């Protein structure tokens, strides 16, 4: 029979939450000053403002366009990981207004598309680029003002925005990646140029001379130079004038440029001076659009949590891909590598140090945990979801994966908000082993348990287990770049 879950569990969880919020900050390295914060804006990067200029920022933020996105209409959505924020970044090729000089285009499509994964616990920001020519299953999108809508079909991921706007693209990205998207930020050509010019340009190393008439008649000599707004836009948009002309190589250049911009912002005077910061933000807000739930307070919460981020922990990756057999000008995502990357993002297992406060507490106490195998772990399965027979189903899967099941049942008393694996003091390794099998499960110490006995309590957010062929480990095909590194400066 399962153990009783009394209201004391709730107070224990409250204590744990209090402990996490008061965790000590890392030592100073290449990080932002305590008065600065980071937020994700531009085609793939999170850049921020200053808490000392908060009132001025509220005034500036009034220039940001807001759009309502009814995510309830998406149906079943991926589960949310507490504390994590995933922002869909759209570099749009909109050609009206100030952007009319960049030619004509049918509809509005993402010129750049990425997911910015912000993890305060890991103190990392990871930008996952999704090639705009990726062939994915597009969901049905209803027609709305200015959009024709579409039936479910196989198509390029960026065409979703043409059919149904940001809402359709948001739904498409969630269904294709199984990553919960919390917000979106869109910036057009003019906004990108404004950011670069407000910084006084961005210093870059150009490995080879570039001339591309289709990218604003871009003409750059090889070597180190400062790219101003128009040149910077041409550089990140250029395809035919560099390398093999593919969108994938262009993504590499965009990542390199964004890393250079991050280094410049975080090491320069922009974040140190409220007046410089005000000028920087004032240049770009008229060209930024976000969902109406990405409020000033939400931005501030994200920024405060990430204010100690190190340059080396701002990461850029591209989803593993290969040519689409039906058309070599399109790409398809490589399986299972892409699923493993998205799984790591969706469950907040990508990058950084996930040892957390519990590991630090163990170190302080001099505790050492022995490595364990599934056969060493006994699991009590508690069904807090309300689905009849779920505990028996889960038990069968655990046994199939080598674990021992000591009992099943329904909870009595408080059910945790998030599915949780409870473990005895010194047995965190056993809990981690069980939690790693699940799509979403946290771990928490429980002094009433002993040995390697753990208790899996499934809550309303329970999403089942990971496929055996799709682990939380990131495959070797995923090439990670950090903002602290440069792949081209060595040739200058």
CATH code: domain of residue 441: 3.30.70.2390
Residues 445-455, mean pLDDT to the nearest whole number: 91
Confidence (pLDDT) at 370 = 57
Confidence of residue 30 (pLDDT cuts 50, 70, 90): very low
Both 325 and 449 in one domain: the answer is no
Highest-confidence range of 4-13, 52-61, 302-311, by mean pLDDT? 302-311
Q: Is residue 89 part of a domain?
A: yes
> What tens digit of pLDDT does each residue of 263-303 get?
777 666 665 566 666 666 666 566 678 899 988 777 767 76
Q: Residue 334 — pLDDT band, cuts 50, 70, 90?
A: very high
Percent of residues, the chain, with pLDDT higher than 70: 70
- In a domain, residue 17? The reply is no
Would the pLDDT of 4 be above 50?
no
- The pLDDT score that the predictor gives to residue 411 is 86
Q: Is 3 contained in some domain?
A: no
pLDDT, tens digit, 9 for 90 and up, residues 85-140: 999 988 875 534 444 443 444 456 677 899 999 988 888 888 899 999 999 999 99
Please check whether residues 38 and 155 belong to one and the same domain: yes
Where b means 16+ CB within 10 Å and e means fewer, 350-371 reads bbbeeeeebeeebeeeeeeeee
Query: Cβ distance 306 to 118 under 8 Å?
Result: yes
pLDDT band at 12 (very low <50, low <70, confident <90, very high): very low
Task: Specify whether 300 is located in the same domain as 381.
Answer: no
> How does DSSP assign 264-280, residue by residue?
HHHHSSTTT-HHHHHHH
Contact between residue 352 and residue 119 where contact means Cβ atoms under 8 Å apart: yes
Residue 422 included in any domain = yes
- pLDDT at site 2: 37
pLDDT at 255: 78
Do 486 and 445 have their domain in common?
no
> Residue 470: inside a domain, yes or no?
no
Highest mean pLDDT among 32-41, 336-345, 480-489: 336-345
Among 32-41, 120-129, 179-188, 201-210, whose mean pLDDT is lowest?
32-41
The pLDDT score that the predictor gives to residue 425 is 92
Same domain, yes or no: 306 and 268: yes
Q: Are residues 245 and 373 in the same domain?
A: no
Report if residue 473 sits inside a domain. no
Same domain, residue pair 107 and 243 = yes
Instruction: Tell me: do 245 and 163 sit in the same domain.
Output: yes
Do 190 and 309 sit in the same domain of this protein?
yes
147, 69: one domain: yes
How many whole angstroms separate alpha carbon 289 and alpha carbon 471?
35
How much is the pTM? 0.66
Distance CA 259, CA 185 (A): 18
Domain range for 447 is: 356-458
Residue 153 covered by a domain: yes
Of 32-41, 104-113, 116-125, 372-381, which one has max mean pLDDT?
372-381
Query: Is residue 265 domain-shared with residue 247, that is, in the same domain?
Result: yes
Question: How many domains would you assign to the chain?
Answer: 2
pLDDT reported for residue 134: 95
253 and 340 in a common domain: yes
Looking at residue 368, its pLDDT comes to: 43
CATH of the domain at 211: 3.40.630.190
- Element containing residue 71 per DSSP (H, E): none
Domain for residue 471, yes or no? no
């Amino acid at each position: 029979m399962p153990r009783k879950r009394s209201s004391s569990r709730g107070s224990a969880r409250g204590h744990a939450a209090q402990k996490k919020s008061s965790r000590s900050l890392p030592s100073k390295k290449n990080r932002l000053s305590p008065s600065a914060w980071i937020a994700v804006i531009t085609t793939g990067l999170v850049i921020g403002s200053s808490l000392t200029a908060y009132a001025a920022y509220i005034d500036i933020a009034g220039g940001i366009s807001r759009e309502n996105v009814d995510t309830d209409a998406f149906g079943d959505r991926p589960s949310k990981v507490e504390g994590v924020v995933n922002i869909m970044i759209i570099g749009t090729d909109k050609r009206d207004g100030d952007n009319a000089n960049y030619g004509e285009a049918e509809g509005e499509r993402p010129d750049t598309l990425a997911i910015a994964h912000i993890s305060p616990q890991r103190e990392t920001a990871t930008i996952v680029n999704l090639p705009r020519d990726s062939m994915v299953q597009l969901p049905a999108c209803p027609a709305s003002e200015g959009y024709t809508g579409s039936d479910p079909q196989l198509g390029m991921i960026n065409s979703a925005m043409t059919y149904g706007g940001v809402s359709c693209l948001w739904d498409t990205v969630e269904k294709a990646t199984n990553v919960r998207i919390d917000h979106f930020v869109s910036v057009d050509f003019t906004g990108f140029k404004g950011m670069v010019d407000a910084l006084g340009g961005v210093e870059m190393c150009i490995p080879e001379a570039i001339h591309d008439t289709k990218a604003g008649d871009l003409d750059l000599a090889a070597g180190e130079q400062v790219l101003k707004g128009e040149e910077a836009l041409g550089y990140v948009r250029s395809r035919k004038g560099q390398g093999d002309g593919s969108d994938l190589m262009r993504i590499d250049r965009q990542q390199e440029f964004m890393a250079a911009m991050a280094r410049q912002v975080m090491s320069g005077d922009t974040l140190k001076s409220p007046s410089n910061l005000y000028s920087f933000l004032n240049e770009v807000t008229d060209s930024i659009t976000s969902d109406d739930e990405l409020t000033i307070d939400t931005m501030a919460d994200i920024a405060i949590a990430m204010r100690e981020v190190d340059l080396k922990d701002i990461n850029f990756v591209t989803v593993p891909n290969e040519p689409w057999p039906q058309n070599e000008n399109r790409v398809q995502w490589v399986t299972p590598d892409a699923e493993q990357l998205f799984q790591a993002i969706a469950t907040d297992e990508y990058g950084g140090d996930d040892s957390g406060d519990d590991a630090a507490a163990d170190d302080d106490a001099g505790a050492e945990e022995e490595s364990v195998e599934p056969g060493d772990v006994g699991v009590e399965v508690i069904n807090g979801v309300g689905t009849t027979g779920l505990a028996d189903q889960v038990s069968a899967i655990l046994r199939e994966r080598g674990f021992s099941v000591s009992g099943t049942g329904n909870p009595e008393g408080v059910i945790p908000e998030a599915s949780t694996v409870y473990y005895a003091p010194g047995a965190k390794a056993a809990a981690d082993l069980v939690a790693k099998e699940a799509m979403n499960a946290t771990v928490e110490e429980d002094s009433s348990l002993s040995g390697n006995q753990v208790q899996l309590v499934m809550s309303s957010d329970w999403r089942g287990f990971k496929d055996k062929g799709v682990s939380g480990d990131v495959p070797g095909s995923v090439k990670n770049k950090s903002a602290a590194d440069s792949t081209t400066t060595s040739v200058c």
